[in-house]
Chains A and B, each alone.
Chain A
Amino acid sequence: MISEEKLQILTESAKYDVSCSSSGSKRKNEGGMGNGYAAGCCHSFTPDGRCISLLKILLSNDCIFNCRYCMSRSDSDVPRATASPEEICELVIDFYKRNYIEGLFLSSAVHRSPDHAMEQLLLTVKKLRTEYQFHGYIHLKGIPRADERLVREAALYADRMSFNIELPSEQSLRLLAPQKSRESLLLPMKRLQKEREIFRLEKRKGHFLPAGQTTQMIVGASPEPDGQILRLTQSLYRANGLKRVYFSSYVPVVHDSLLPEKPAGELREHRLYQADWLLRFYGFSAEEIVDDHGNLPLELDPKCAWALRNLHLFPVEINRAPLEVLLRVPGIGAKSAYKIMEARRYTRLNFEDLKKMRVVLKRARHFITADGKFCGASGSALRGLLSAGDPLNATQLSFFSDRETARSALTGEL
């Protein structure tokens, strides 16, 4: 059994990774323990409001790389630990059996060399799948600059892999993570994507990343504007076929002259996620949401901001507007849009009906008519009504205390 101390060190070095999703894999239990849960499943929530789905842990935090923002960087003075593949396997099996976790999210520092670190990761997942007969969810981090054969083999055992793109531009990467380059991060992603396509087309036996790939970047440690970040995000979805792009608002865990002293606002991270949802589920393009060098407004959600720039398209009649138009109404999410589409086949909807159906009208009422009736404000009054307050104070807004935003922070739905 792994020691409590080792578990603590390896967990604390892994916890800033934001991805926690366990969705997207329907892996069957083939005569052992565990299976995939396509919808994903949260097993607990920590006092910081984040969910625990996967056992998020490093195999080792002993790193030869020296990325400035990282607490495990080689010249930082932190306790180091390295777990054996057996220790991790045992931990996963016994936690999973008790239903503490949905699976494993295994990452590692670049221990000794990229190849050695990747080898150990591969060894661990292979052991879990073959010796321990574990069929639960496994998310494996890829090590940049590791041998591509190791990466490809690991993909046969993991449900999802991710190479963190770390920072939104090559310049920032060169400055803050000198041993990593854009190419060392993007190339393996592209290779895996291609392999996965081939695997699927040829209908080969077994699995090859059934839940695809994701990535993560730190926001606020470097000067890139939201416009650039969202364009990069869009291209990662379109060209690289990623399932998710995660943003992690910068938290200063180490002091460094090249890094900002203050954490980036969590509200900015939240707005980026809202924009990310618009890209993935609402039919928006990055260009529509924010211009190249611009930032997302903090006082308004990005859909609202878009609608205010495009007032000539509103109001829309709730009984006639097609789905893609309903989805563009501020305050109407995918669920509400679906409910409206269904309900209006049977009856003509008015505002009373919408309220009953729990369609949130706080923002939507300014952009819709229901049975010909308009209930909103227009012109300059509208902007004031929709703004969450003074943008300068925006980072101090306790926006998670508002139920509606709290839910949206988890689901991303607007």
Chain B
Amino acid sequence: MIYFYDGSKEAFYTAFLLAYPDEEAVLTSGSKQLGIGQKTVFVRADPARAKQAERRLEELDPECVKELDLLLRSGQPNRDTVAFGYFKLIAARGGPVRRMLAEDAVIAARECMQRVRFEIHRFHGFLRFMESACGALYAPVSPDNDICDLLVPHFRARLPQYPFVIHDVKRRKAAVYDGANTFLAPLDRAEIVLSADEKAWQDLWKKYYHSVNIPSRERLRQMRGYMPVRYWKFLPEKFPGDFGTS
């Protein structure tokens, strides 16, 4: 049986309860090629049952709820299968399994979470703010995983006096810090009026970037390995023209 669910935590727990006893169960929130004769069921979140499942799993492993949050944020197409496999093992073993590092389900879950965590770390570095005329900062991002709200605490701690918006242009939503509170909001397109100095600072940054390079030691492959090309889109130093509207 294939269990479709909407990708939310509640629906996952609901689907998990249904699918757990089913040995042939496949859990998915995306599109799935159906085999001939394969049965499907669409699972709608049932808040009461979800809460019950969550509580039970938390008893078995207090950390696993946080891990589920990371797993469901993954952009990996098989994330539901990975999460299901991992939680099935927790339920079957009746306790934490994260240290069973030779177990397939654990390896898959660890690697999946690792990718999400690593991307968060990367964006702590690769995110670029631009300053708008009103002083608020705006950063467009297009991460592989659904992480834009997880980036907020880091920047909030550093720049408490500056309201900022981290805009996930791919998922059309934004994490907003208004100077006091943080919230998530749908955001399709943003029109930003840049501050008077913004372009000059971007130019200065580009100048710095090119001056600090040692041309006789060119190693483009290595650069691309550490900073994959898909992240260049919003980096002024990698953007051929000028960025943003003024």
Q: Footprint of B on A, CB under 8 Å?
A: 1-2, 4, 7-8, 11-12, 14-16, 29, 33-35, 37, 39, 41-53, 55-56, 91, 94-100, 102, 136, 251, 266, 339, 342-347, 349, 353, 356-357, 400-401, 403, 406, 409-410
Contacts and interface: CB of A to CB of B under 8 A. Distances in A.
Interface in B201-246: 201-205, 207-209, 211-223, 225-227, 235, 237-238
21 contacts: A1-B201, A7-B208, A33-B158, A37-B124, A41-B125, A49-B223, A49-B226, A52-B209, A55-B208, A95-B205, A97-B137, A98-B128, A339-B101, A343-B102, A344-B102, A346-B100, A346-B103, A356-B104, A357-B101, A357-B102, A403-B225
Given A12-B211, A48-B219, A345 B99 contact: yes
A4 B211 CA distance: 10
The winner among B160, B208, B237 for most chain A CB atoms within 10 A is: B208
Given A35-B158, A41-B124, A47 B211 contact: no
B227 A44 contact: yes
Given A52-B212, A343-B102, A7 B207 contact: yes
Interface in B90-121: 99-104, 107, 121
Given A47-B220, A99-B129, 5 more contacts: A8-B211, A15-B213, A44-B126, A98-B130, A346-B103
A8 B211 CA distance: 6
B157 interface: yes
B235 A46 contact: no
B212 A400 contact: no
Nearest to A249: B217
Residue of A7, A14, A34, A50 with most partner-chain B CB within 10 A = A50
Nearest to B129: A98
A15 B162 CA distance: 31
B226 A45 contact: yes
A37 B227 CA distance: 20
Interface core residue of A11, A45, A136, A342 (most chain B CB under 10 Å): A45
A136 B158 contact: yes
Contacts of A356: 102, 104, 107
Contact of A15 (B99, B131, B203, B211): B211
A163 to B, nearest CB: 22
Contacts of B225: 403, 406
A98 B138 CA distance: 9
A16 B203 CA distance: 23
Contacts of B139: 99
Nearest to A354: B102
A91 B207 CA distance: 13
A99 B226 contact: no
Nearest to A52: B212
Nearest to A409: B222
A97 B162 contact: yes
A401 to B, nearest CB: 6
B155 interface: yes
A35 B155 CA distance: 10
Given A42-B125, A51-B226, A251-B216, A95 B221 contact: no
**Most A-side CB within 10 Å, residue of B102, B160, B223:** B102
Contacts of B102: 343-344, 346-347, 349, 353, 356-357
A318 B103 CA distance: 17
Given A33-B161, A46-B209, A97 B221 contact: no
A98 B201 contact: yes
A343 B100 contact: yes
A410 B225 CA distance: 11
Nearest to A91: B204
Nearest to B218: A47
A2 B218 CA distance: 28
A60 to B, nearest CB: 16
A369 B156 CA distance: 50
Contacts of A353: 102
A136 B197 CA distance: 22
Contacts of A403: 225
Given A1-B204, A251-B216, A356-B107, A44 B211 contact: no
Contact of B219 (A11, A39, A400): A400
Contacts of A50: 213-214
Contacts of A344: 102
B200 interface: yes
A44 B237 contact: yes
B18 interface: no
Given A97-B129, A349-B102, A29 B209 contact: no
For the complex of A and B, list the 7 residue pairs with the smallest distance between their C-beta atoms, beginning with the closest: A49-B222, A49-B219, A343-B101, A11-B211, A46-B213, A343-B102, A48-B217
Contact of B205 (A42, A98, A400): A98
Contacts of B213: 15, 46-48, 50
B117 to A, nearest CB: 11
Contacts of B126: 43-44
Contact of B107 (A2, A136, A251, A357): A357
A206 B189 CA distance: 45
Contacts of A409: 222
A4 B162 contact: no
Nearest to B99: A342
B128 A34 contact: no
Given A47-B220, A343-B100, A4 B215 contact: no
A289 B127 CA distance: 41
Nearest to B100: A346
Nearest to B207: A4
